[in-house]
Amino acid sequence: VKNIAVLTSGGDAPGMNAAIRAIVRTGNYFQLNVYGVMYGYRGLINGEIMKMDSRSVANIIQRGGTILKTARCKEFFGYEGRQRAYEQLKKYQIDGLIVIGGDGTFKGAFTFSKEFDIPCMGLPGTIDKDIDGTDYTIGFDTAVNTAVRAIDKIRDTAEAHDRLFIVEVMGRDAGYIALHSGIATGAEHVLLPEQPTRIQDIIDALQANERRKKLVNIIVVAEGDQSGGANEVARVIKEQLPHFDTRVCILGHIQRGGAPTCLDRILASRMGYAAVLALMEGKHHNCMVGVVNNQIQFTPLENAVKASPRIDPEWFQMIRILAS
Amino acid sequence: VKNIAVLTSGGDAPGMNAAIRAIVRTGNYFQLNVYGVMYGYRGLINGEIMKMDSRSVANIIQRGGTILKTARCKEFFGYEGRQRAYEQLKKYQIDGLIVIGGDGTFKGAFTFSKEFDIPCMGLPGTIDKDIDGTDYTIGFDTAVNTAVRAIDKIRDTAEAHDRLFIVEVMGRDAGYIALHSGIATGAEHVLLPEQPTRIQDIIDALQANERRKKLVNIIVVAEGDQSGGANEVARVIKEQLPHFDTRVCILGHIQRGGAPTCLDRILASRMGYAAVLALMEGKHHNCMVGVVNNQIQFTPLENAVKASPRIDPEWFQMIRILAS
Amino acid sequence: VKNIAVLTSGGDAPGMNAAIRAIVRTGNYFQLNVYGVMYGYRGLINGEIMKMDSRSVANIIQRGGTILKTARCKEFFGYEGRQRAYEQLKKYQIDGLIVIGGDGTFKGAFTFSKEFDIPCMGLPGTIDKDIDGTDYTIGFDTAVNTAVRAIDKIRDTAEAHDRLFIVEVMGRDAGYIALHSGIATGAEHVLLPEQPTRIQDIIDALQANERRKKLVNIIVVAEGDQSGGANEVARVIKEQLPHFDTRVCILGHIQRGGAPTCLDRILASRMGYAAVLALMEGKHHNCMVGVVNNQIQFTPLENAVKASPRIDPEWFQMIRILAS
Amino acid sequence: VKNIAVLTSGGDAPGMNAAIRAIVRTGNYFQLNVYGVMYGYRGLINGEIMKMDSRSVANIIQRGGTILKTARCKEFFGYEGRQRAYEQLKKYQIDGLIVIGGDGTFKGAFTFSKEFDIPCMGLPGTIDKDIDGTDYTIGFDTAVNTAVRAIDKIRDTAEAHDRLFIVEVMGRDAGYIALHSGIATGAEHVLLPEQPTRIQDIIDALQANERRKKLVNIIVVAEGDQSGGANEVARVIKEQLPHFDTRVCILGHIQRGGAPTCLDRILASRMGYAAVLALMEGKHHNCMVGVVNNQIQFTPLENAVKASPRIDPEWFQMIRILAS
């Protein structure tokens, strides 16, 4: 391996820049040429490729977003698109590719690596933390801390008014942000896609709280919860408890931005560093770099799929008890 | 004046606790008894009144919300309600009242002071900064900084994806949060209640930006803008520019909470201190304490109404130029 | 077990309040009486003990410090002190004790439990993360993120002036804060107690950087590094490189305060919850509750000592490469 | 005026980038060429000058530091240095110069403008807020908020341990940061250069607090206070009150960095915008742009000197009362 390329794809996640920096500098240190591809697979197809060096990634470790930008790209799902991408790589004599993104990104890389015999490495960059083969994904810790600080602020005003707040956090298929931010802010209820929601139970609990004069309640809802999101939960609750002072807050895209936390920066740095080494050593080609039990671990790209739910049921018991 | 009471009313605003602290400690220092009234006028009517001392307000200067809680109270708009409130004051021999809130709060205090000859002082506590007689209101600087930090995060992800974001900030009747946060985040457009919005102009400008490859745009919309808020603006834009990657973010109640900024803590401290002195000296009874050109200034409560728009038109010119 | 007590001891750490909250609420949920002991072992000896309930710990999960306060206590190292402590426990019929602190705290608890047959549980609360039997300690993640954000700010001004900054972070015996904050901020060098420091190597590297026009450098030094701390490192560097614009920053106690991160709140909540369950079930008495590979794990208090260095040498290689 | 240049000089201050952005974009909007000068006057002499456009200043409004870097430059104090600077300007046909910095920066610009008939505008960029002719300087609000958040954290740990903390903040000649951060954090004492410090009074007050069991005390000291800074204050106090648990914290350069607050961004934007307009209109050449009572105001550069103390004595009374 002499010339490698890196791209970010899918939804952006804080820490992606730290990963790019690690890849460029590790590559340069070991005498590789490192190319940055703009706009994910779309830029690969269109040849938006530039050479990077140590200076290109100076002072970005603390920046949210991704300097390589990202995009979703339908063309890369078709053979023709991938062939054009391959031609671009040939043009630059790139013989190793690192993609940072989620399971869709990995699926593309897997197919691509099979078809054109280009070694690909994946880095899990998604705030949702729902990829098999790693305990953490780049961006999750930052996103959940952003959610926690936002909900702390909401609690200030909830306490001032004795209000019920229904806060929607990101997580279409996975409830980790909701679960972690809910526990960390002392939320009274947490609604997740991984577990059926019985709104009636919540309404009963709210009424029980009311009887003991506890009027401040926070419900954290993952956007992918089957209940239909915060607005729908609020609608049902207002119908049955019209005398509650109920408000909705949808945190939205603030969860994607901001300076990454220490954990995300280190995670991204380690993964980027390991990916380049793996490309060079040739031992774990076409794998995703994960961190499991604080050790780097490689998972074949075809297995680095959306994780099936793995939330310890005892955590739900704990939420109930700690918010009591 | 020997016994004074303080309450917070209307929407909560960060810095209210700093004001309560200043009132209690200044009162105590000058040998007054200071009572805290819970839940605004409602608690005054119901007698939710407690004596406070230096310890009651220890370590609260940095807390969002209000330890006295707040509520809206219809009863106080009727004479009977105010009479019951007056009886509570008599019971505690309270001969001076300080209310922290917005123009509705002041209106109630004005009527009350007339009817029952109780000297009242008002402190402007509202994140909207739209009260005549003061340059700043308690909570505005914190709310606008919260909005700025949130929009900074949104810009990170907007830049990563070349997206158009429409961000709604608080401000039902006044656009100061939108105006200030818009300038401070380099927003391309700012929509305010104080000024008619021509969405067609915005669409034209977005298209002009597109022609020069500027795809990242942020539009800050005050909730009270005549266009109908961020969702409605987004709907119109999506209709005309369906190929734009357009997203909406409604910041909501996070703008009300959080530790107050330095400015809000000092403002609240100075106002609380001045209000107690004014009650004692008897010179500015039934006034709102404001800060104008960095000097304490008193405005009769009946004049401390929602300010008419006073936004310098040159600022709009500046926004356009700086985002160019 | 029917009546349990909790105390915090040694240096304070953010997240201790989240642990106290979890202990009180879990205890109450299972019908235990929970007592809070003020000022650590000193308050235990002096009988500064109060009953706590759900309300006592409302709205504290997000607060730094410890509502139970903490202190170092020599008397508890003597038998007489411990006997007086035991008498206090008897007075309140307390039959289980949870202590939150570091290895000194655990040593005391271990001796105490042996002598008086009181089941004790330990929770690792220290920003230094240097306790055997757990991957994380309560407070570390918050402290290191505070350090990271501070060093980010220092880098802003270092970049503006082309300066060399030597930043001292906490860590008397362990360099985890220095190591993690150094990697996360892209520090050029990290000096730790766990590893001998050769300042001459650093000076050589600084000169090499100077030759390639890289004048901004950040060196993170753990306070316990053998070099003698940031001031001493600066003295030596200034002597040999007098033309460098060298500044020192000692972050100090800001690293102990502030709202805990999500990770610390969840860690503290899980540990507090598990400690109460363990007391009730009687299976892991006189153990420290740790989290290893994300699972609760119990370590006998006598083994929960300061961890021997366990820093992966590859991390140092990575720091060198990523800052290149 | 057709070609203008901008530079930052002296100590950096958050918000300088927002000013640079405003100058470049306003200049471009009005068809001026705008040049950026690196490293202040040193770069002017050495010809480190580059053309800037809208893209050069994209996405910097929220960044601390200054993208133009800054330096102190002795040569510019001599005629020869200024002549070389003038030759550089001639080379680029630059006929207007905007300098962002403190009073030293303005003094240089004033002499330069006299000697070579180059119209110069000054923008007050210094965290110290001690320039005549403006109520605020770029960077002050950010610096003081950084100090406030840091002292909030210190208070957390002070409360946990019943400690006395002596916190040193920046301000060599002016105590505004100390004064504002002291009030905003409820500091028990604030020591400023503008006012003689009697440590004995402080010691008496600490003893009085001790008698009423108030053991947590925070003293904020400006680095330029005659007492000799936090370490010296601590030394004297420890001598006389050895039983106090006394700690020192010197906040240092973290106060210079970080994302600017909303106020600093708007201030810098308005000033930069106004400076370009003034250059074009020719009305206020060789003036500093200030904001007084929220209006733009121009002060001849020779009068824009370090402000004489203007701290309202009532504020000291207020500090004493509010911390009681």
The pLDDT of residue D135 is 95
Q: Is D295 exposed, middle or buried (0-12, 13-18, 19+ CB in 10 A)?
A: exposed
Q: Is B154 on the interface with A (CB under 8 A)?
A: yes
Q: Mind listing the pLDDT tens digit for each residue in C93-112?
A: 999 999 999 999 999 999 99
Closest approach of chain A CAs to the CA of C30, in angstroms? Answer: 9
Band of residue A324 on the pLDDT scale cut at 50, 70, 90:
confident
Chain B from 257 to 316: CB within 8 A of any D CB: 259, 261-263, 265-266, 269-270, 273, 293-294
The kind and range of the H/E element at B291 are: strand B287-292
Domains C3-139+260-303 and C142-256 share a fold: yes
For residue D310, pLDDT beyond 80: no
d(C-alpha D65, C-alpha D56), whole Å: 15
Q: Identify whether the C-beta of residue B100 lies closer than 8 Å to the C-beta of residue B120.
A: no
pLDDT at residue D223, as a whole number:
96
Whether the Cβ atoms of residue D110 and residue D89 lie closer than 8 Å to each other: no
Answer for the pair D136, D307: CB distance below 8 angstroms, yes or no.
no
Question: Is residue C212 exposed (0-12), middle (13-18) or buried (19+ Cβ within 10 Å)?
Answer: exposed
Q: Could you read off the pLDDT of A188-217 as tens digits, one per residue?
A: 999 999 888 889 999 999 999 999 999 999
Which residues, including other chains, have CB under 8 Å from residue C273's CB and lie 6 or more apart?
Answer: A318, A321, A322, C22, C23, C26
The answer, for B152 touching chain A at a CB cutoff of 8 Å, is yes
Quick one: average pLDDT of C120-140?
96
- C168 pLDDT higher than 80: yes
Nearest to D174 by CA among D131, D236, D209: D131
Chain D residue with CA closest to C148: the answer is D254
What's the confidence (pLDDT) of residue D312?
84
How big is the C-D interface in CB pairs under 8 Å?
A: 107
Q: Which residue of A has its CA nearest to C321?
A: A26
Domain extent listing, chain D: 3-139+260-303, 141-256
Min Cα separation C155/chain A (Å): 9
Q: Touching check for D148 and chain B: CB below 8 Å?
A: yes
The 3-state secondary structure of chain A reads: CCEEEEEECCCCCCCHHHHHHHHHHHHHHCCCEEEEECCHHHHHHHCCEEEECHHHHCCCCCCCCCCCCCCCCCHHHCHHHHHHHHHHHHHCCCCEEEEEECHHHHHHHHHHHHHHCCCEEEEEECCCCCECCCCCCECHHHHHHHHHHHHHHHHHHHHHHCCEEEEEECCCCCCHHHHHHHHHCCCCEEECCCCCCCHHHHHHHHHHHHHCCCCCEEEEEECCCCCCCHHHHHHHHHHHCCCCCEEEEECHHHHHCCCCCHHHHHHHHHHHHHHHHHHHHCCCCCEEEEEECCEEEEEEHHHCCECCCCCCHHHHHHHHHHCC
Residue with tokens 């400008």: B205
Q: Between C324 and C276, where is the model more confident?
A: C276
- Flag whether pLDDT at A69 surpasses 90: yes
CB contact under 8 A, B157 and A64: yes
Q: Is B160 on the interface with A (CB under 8 A)?
A: yes
Q: Does D56 touch chain B if contact means CB atoms closer than 8 Å?
A: no
Is C156 annotated in the active site? no
CATH class, range C142-256: alpha beta
Query: Which residue from C157, C249, C253 is facing D154, i.e. has the nearest CB?
Result: C253
Predicted pLDDT of residue B307: 83
C-alpha count within 13 angstroms, C-beta hemisphere, residue C76: 25
Q: How confident is the model at residue A312 (pLDDT cuts 50, 70, 90)?
A: confident
Closest CA to D221 of D254, D262, D188: D188
Question: Given this model, what pLDDT does residue C308 score?
Answer: 78
Contact A141 C59 (CB under 8 A): no
pLDDT at A311: 82
Q: Do A262 and C21 touch (CB under 8 A)?
A: no
Inter-residue contact C36 to C28 (CB < 8 Å): no
What Rg do the C-alpha atoms of chain A give, in angstroms?
A: 22
CA distance A149 to B258: 8
Closest CA to A151 of A297, A254, A258, A232: A254
Task: Determine how β-strand C189-191 pairs with β-strand D3-8.
Answer: unpaired
pLDDT of A1 higher than 80:
yes
The closest of B83, B69, B13 to B39, measured between CA atoms, is B69
- Chain B closest CA to A8's CA: distance in Å? 10
Distance CA B63, CA B55 (A): 15
* Superfamily holding D141-256: Phosphofructokinase domain (3.40.50.460)
- Specify the residue for token string 């700086």: B322
Q: What residue has token string 């426990």?
A: C89
**Chain B contact probe: residue of D142, D262, D276 with most B CBs at under 10 A:** D262
Instruction: State the chains in contact with C (3 or more Cβ–Cβ pairs under 8 Å).
Output: A, D
Say yes or no to pLDDT of D21 above 80: yes
Residue to mutate among B70, B144, B153, B213, with most A CBs inside 10 A, is B153
Q: What is the CATH number of domain A3-139+260-303?
A: 3.40.50.450
Please report residues of B whose CB lies closer than 8 A to that of D290.
none
Residue pLDDT tens, chain B, 324 long: 999 999 999 999 999 999 999 999 999 999 999 999 999 999 999 999 999 999 999 999 999 999 999 998 999 999 999 999 999 999 999 999 999 999 999 999 999 999 999 999 999 999 999 999 999 999 999 999 999 999 999 999 999 999 999 999 999 999 999 999 999 999 999 999 988 888 999 999 999 999 999 999 999 999 999 999 999 999 999 999 999 999 999 999 999 999 999 999 999 999 999 999 999 999 999 999 999 999 999 999 999 998 877 788 889 899 999 988
* Confidence label for A313 from pLDDT (cuts 50, 70 and 90): confident
Q: Please say whether the beta carbons of A8 and A16 come within 8 A.
A: yes
- What are D112's two structure tokens? 């330069």
Among all residues of chain A, which has the CA nearest to that of B151? A254
ipTM, 2 dp: 0.97
- Calculate how close chain C gets to D146, using CA atoms only, in Å: 10
pLDDT at A309 over 80: no
> Do the chains contact at C258 and D154, CB–CB below 8 Å?
no
- Nearest by CB to residue C266, choosing from A184, A259, A269, is A184
Q: Tell me how close the Cα of A35 comes to any Cα of chain C, in angstroms.
A: 17
- What are the tens digits of pLDDT across the range D153-167? 999 999 999 999 999
**Catalytic residue chosen out of the listed positions D128, D130, D141, D264:** D128
Give the pLDDT confidence score for residue B310 in this predicted structure. 75
- CA–CA separation, A302 vs A109, rounded Å? 9
C268 — pLDDT class (breaks 50, 70, 90): very high
Beta bridge partners of D299: D288
Beta carbons of C265 and A148 less than 8 Å apart: yes
Distance CA(C142)–CA(C64), nearest Å, equals: 10
Are the beta carbons of B155 and A257 separated by less than 8 Å? yes
Inform me whether the pLDDT recorded for A9 exceeds 90: yes
Smallest CA–CA separation between D163 and chain B, in Å? Answer: 14
Q: How far apart are CA A70 and CA A85, in angstroms?
A: 16
pLDDT, tens digit (0-9, with 9 covering 90-100), for A19-63: 999 999 999 999 999 999 999 999 999 999 999 999 999 999 999
CA dist., res. D305 & res. D30, Å (int): 31
pLDDT of residue A149: 98
Out of 3.40.50.12280, 3.40.50.460, 2.60.40.10, 3.40.640.10, which CATH number does the structure's domain B140-256 have?
3.40.50.460
CB C203 within 8 A of CB C237: yes
Q: Which of D249, D253, D264 to probe by mutation at the C interface, max C CB count within 10 Å?
A: D253
Q: What is the rounded distance in angstroms from the CA atom of residue B289 to the CA atom of residue B134?
A: 8
Inform me whether the C-beta atom of residue C71 falls under 8 Å from chain D C-beta atoms.
yes
Residue-level pLDDT at D265: 98
Instruction: Dump pLDDT digits (tens) for D240-262.
Output: 999 999 999 999 999 999 999 99
Which of A12, A154, A162 lies nearest to residue B69, judging by beta carbons?
Answer: A162
- Contacts of A194 by beta carbon, 8 Å cutoff, 6+ apart: A174, A175, A309, A311
